[in-house]
Each structure stands twice: as structure tokens, then as C-alpha cells.
Amino acid sequence: MSLTRRGVVTLAASALLLAGCGSSGSEEPAAGGSAAAQEKVTVEWWHIQNIEPMAPVWDAMAKEYMAAHPNVTIKVTPLENEAFKAKMTTVAQSGESPDIYQTWGGGVLQQQADAGIAKDITADIASWADTITPAAAAAYKLGGKTYGVPYDIGMVGFWYNKALFEKAGITAPPATWGEFIEDVKKLKAAGITPLSLAGKAKWPGHYYWAYLAMRVAGLDALKQAAATKSFENPDFVTAGQKLKELADLKPFQNGFLGANYDTPDGQAATMGNGKAAMELMGQWAPTVQKDTSKDLGDDLGFFPFPMVEGGKGSATDAFGGGGGFAVGADAPPAAVDFLKFILSPENHRKEIGTGAILPVIKGTEDAVSNPRGKMVAETLAAATDFQLYLDQAYPPAVGQQVNDSVAELIAGTKSPEEVVKAITETAQSE
């Protein structure tokens, strides 16, 4: 089976994450029939782990599964993040989807489910759904139904170069926004670029506005904005003003507006090469730094986004998400069975062992040996609440408008007031 065809629908890139685990290679067919054990089928699998360490791990698991299931061919298509989004948009506009595809949950998955492109797999995974941690599974349950499984969970925070902090006379990570701004000034005074940013990619920039909105207005305000389709909250304007305060200091590397994230001259490489002191990024940051440049080793530290003085949000509220896989509406039973296979405790431990994945399966937490992963896992464990990436939590057009408007704010071409107005107008047009 290649791509499933359903009714024509226009969707933006991406998808969901959810709940998963199970057998590690049995011949047992997935729930819903014996097709996985009888008919010759091809499962189209699109994922975004197109570099080490996960690319070879996924390939090896696909080969292992096929060896145990001679009737099944897993056709693997690894894609870079933005390339995946573009390709997914194209096929979705034709009412198609791969049998298994990358997803982050939220508004995009909801639209895919409503359009009949993503499959309700609640019954298919019933026998192993409870092996998934609730936090990892929650974002992928829509209206009481499950549309995907997670393979990773994590959060966004500041990765920093301890040696560069020391050179600038900074003795501890900042706990407040005021301290953070002062540290940026200290780094600049020491001739050090404070922050690395992929301005061209846009999505990394939205992390700043999202976190500031969380810290200033609180998570309930973001949820209310999504429900009322109005972001013209004075606290969101204040969040934009805080970001403008940062951008006015010119804290980013030269040429950041044209920089991608994971290219040899992009955000991750700038950080890994020691040419910037910090980057605001998810739990995968050390892996991408190493893959695109160098490993900072013990010089790499992590701290959560600072609290904002006088803000309504909690300093322990986390922002992020993970990675997961949705199932195409017409995918064969082997697709779900394969997800059960790769999310067995045994295989999930292999994934965690790469240092690029944090646990989503109960009882595998001890497999986190990487000190960087432990830093994120410990911070996440202490989180009081959690917000999914805004460009995934909201409908695709709204999420894209957040990315676009924040990028313009950082570039100095849109005001904080214009940002919330643009997002509101897009939300109300949906």
C-alpha cells in the first residue's frame, strides 16, 4: 500500500504524537484482523529522523520487522523537518497520507482527523495503550479517541556554553528575565554573541514569544485565546515588548535572518562551534549540534526559560512537545503492528540509548544515561503544567501566522501590537 486516498482537503504540514508500546517482533497481527500475517503489503513510513543517531536506528528496526514478517515491506522515507512539512502539505491537498507519518499533535492532527486522513487507532492499540506515559499520550487524544503514538517527549529550554558564560563573568544561569537581559549585555560586552537563532526557519523564533506569553499571561490565557480566537490580550502585547527588548540588543549571530536550523552554518552549528553562548531549543539540541558541528561536551549546560517579574505564569510551566507517528486512514493492520514493535520496551530502550530520545514508555526511564537527557528529564519531571508548541497546538494557519509574525517582530518589521492583531485576524478567519 502506498498512499491512502480520502476526500480532498487542504492541510498544512505535520501531525501528531500519542501512545505506544508492545511486542518486540512477534508474528502477532495487529488488532483488527490477520492481514499483517497473511497478505503482502507495503507500509509507507515518513519520518524526520534523517540524520544520526536516529536514522540508522529506525532503518535497523524496519529491517528487523521485515525479517520477522516476510509479507510486509516497510518503505522508509526520511525527510528533513521543513521538507516533510512541505511534502505532507502537498499529499494532504490531494486527500492522501502515508501509512505512518511524523506528527506532533494539536491543531494539525485535529484537522487531519476531521478530514478522514488520520485513522482512529483507539481499538487497535487498546492492548498496549496503558504502557505509554500519560503526559506523552495526552496531546494525541482528540475527543476521547487516539490518532497516533509518541516516540519522544521533551521540552524547550536554553542550552548554554559554560565556558563562554565564565568568560563573560556570569557565575550562574539567569532565573528571571531581568537577569537574562543583563547576561545578554555582559556577553556582548565580552565580545561574545549571546544567542544563536535560525531566523529563516522561523519556528525557533516563536519559542521566545510563546514562553514570554506563558510567563507574562499564564497558560490559561493561551488556552482562552485559542477558544475565543482573540489574542489581543494586553499581556500578549507585553510578551512582544519583552521580545522586542531582547531583539533591540542585537543578540543574535551575524546573518541570523538567513540562517536555517540544522545546516553547517545554521543555528545548531553556530552553537556547537562555540560561536554563540546560548540557543533556545528542544531536547534534541545537543544531538543536532554534534551532527552539524561539534560536541561541546561538559561545557554544554541547560536551564529552563526564566520567570518574568510580575508575570502571571509559573516559572515551572514547560513548553515543548515530542515526536510521534500518526496512521493513515486506509493503512493496513501491519502499520499499527509495526508501531507496537518499535515502541516495545526493548526497542524503546535502544531509541533512548541514542541520547536523542526521552522515555514515553513506562518503566524505561532508567535507560536515560546521557547527562544532557537527564537534565531535561529532571526539569520536565518538575514541571507544573505543559504547553504544546503553538505552531502545533493551534490550527495550521494560526500556527504559521504565529511563526511569521514573531519572525517579523524579531526582524523589527512588526510591532508587538501588530503581532497579536495578525494572529487574531488569522484565527478568526479559520
CATH of the domain at 269: 3.40.190.10
Determine phi and psi for 68, rounding to 5 degrees: -85, -15
Residue 11 covered by a domain? no
**CA 161 to CA 75: how far, in whole Å?**
40
Among candidate residues 135, 133, 88, the one with its CA nearest the CA of residue 115: 88
Cis amide leading into 53 (omega within 30): yes
Q: Are residues 301 and 178 in the same domain?
A: yes
Question: What is the pLDDT, as a whole number, of residue 38?
Answer: 67
Residue 370 covered by a domain? yes
**CA 397 to CA 395: how far, in whole Å?**
6
Q: Are residues 204 and 299 in the same domain?
A: yes
Q: Are residues 202 and 309 in the same domain?
A: yes
Residue 260 covered by a domain? yes
Residue 24 covered by a domain? no
Question: What is the pLDDT, as a whole number, of residue 18?
Answer: 29
Residue 17 covered by a domain? no
Say if residue 378 is exposed, middle or buried (CB neighbours under 10 Å; 0-12, 13-18, 19+). exposed
pTM value? Answer: 0.74
Q: Are residues 59 and 130 in the same domain?
A: yes
Among candidate residues 261, 250, 165, the one with its CA nearest the CA of residue 207: 261
pLDDT tens-digit series, residues 377-394:
888 877 888 888 998 888
**CA 210 to CA 216: how far, in whole Å?**
10
**CA 299 to CA 162: how far, in whole Å?**
5
Question: Could you say which of 383, 399, 417 is where a domain stops?
Answer: 383
* Structural domain range at position 93: 41-150+321-383
Among candidate residues 206, 195, 270, 194, the one with its CA nearest the CA of residue 408: 206
Q: Are residues 235 and 193 in the same domain?
A: yes
Q: Are residues 261 and 295 in the same domain?
A: yes
CB 189 within 8 A of CB 251: no
Name the 3-class secondary structure at 225: helix
Q: Are residues 295 and 266 in the same domain?
A: yes
Q: Are residues 312 and 343 in the same domain?
A: no
Q: Are residues 353 and 299 in the same domain?
A: no
**CA 278 to CA 275: how far, in whole Å?**
9
* DSSP code for 384: S
Determine phi and psi for 331, rounding to 5 degrees: -65, 150
Q: Are residues 141 and 167 in the same domain?
A: no
Residue 375 covered by a domain? yes
* DSSP code for 234: H
Residue 20 covered by a domain? no
**CA 127 to CA 377: how far, in whole Å?**
27
CB 184 within 8 A of CB 195: yes
- Distance of alpha carbon 121 from its chain centroid, rounded? 22
Domain count, the chain: 2
**CA 80 to CA 100: how far, in whole Å?**
16
Question: What is the pLDDT, as a whole number, of residue 171?
Answer: 97
pLDDT tens-digit series, residues 344-384:
999 999 999 988 889 999 889 889 988 888 888 888 877 88
Question: What is the pLDDT, as a whole number, of residue 301?
Answer: 97
CB 194 within 8 A of CB 278: yes
Amino acid 254 reads N
Among candidate residues 403, 377, 404, the one with its CA nearest the CA of residue 157: 377
**CA 12 to CA 297: how far, in whole Å?**
37
Q: What is the pLDDT along the chain (430 residues), one digit of tens a residue?
A: 334 322 322 233 333 222 233 333 333 444 334 444 468 999 999 999 998 889 999 999 999 999 999 999 999 999 998 899 899 989 988 888 999 999 988 888 988 999 899 999 999 999 999 999 877 887 788 888 999 999 998 899 999 999 999 999 999 999 999 999 999 999 999 999 999 999 999 999 999 999 999 999 999 999 899 889 999 999 999 999 999 999 999 999 999 999 999 999 999 999 999 999 999 999 889 989 999 999 999 999 999 999 999 999 999 999 998 889 999 999 999 999 999 999 999 999 999 998 888 999 988 988 998 888 888 888 887 788 888 899 888 888 999 999 999 999 999 999 999 999 999 999 999 7
Q: Are residues 85 and 141 in the same domain?
A: yes
Question: What is the pLDDT, as a whole number, of residue 39?
Answer: 81
Inter-CA distances, 414 with 18, 206, 405, 410, 429, Å: 36, 14, 7, 8, 20
Among candidate residues 4, 12, 9, 16, the one with its CA nearest the CA of residue 96: 4
- Distance of alpha carbon 292 from its chain centroid, rounded? 19
Residue 30 covered by a domain? no
Q: Are residues 139 and 268 in the same domain?
A: no
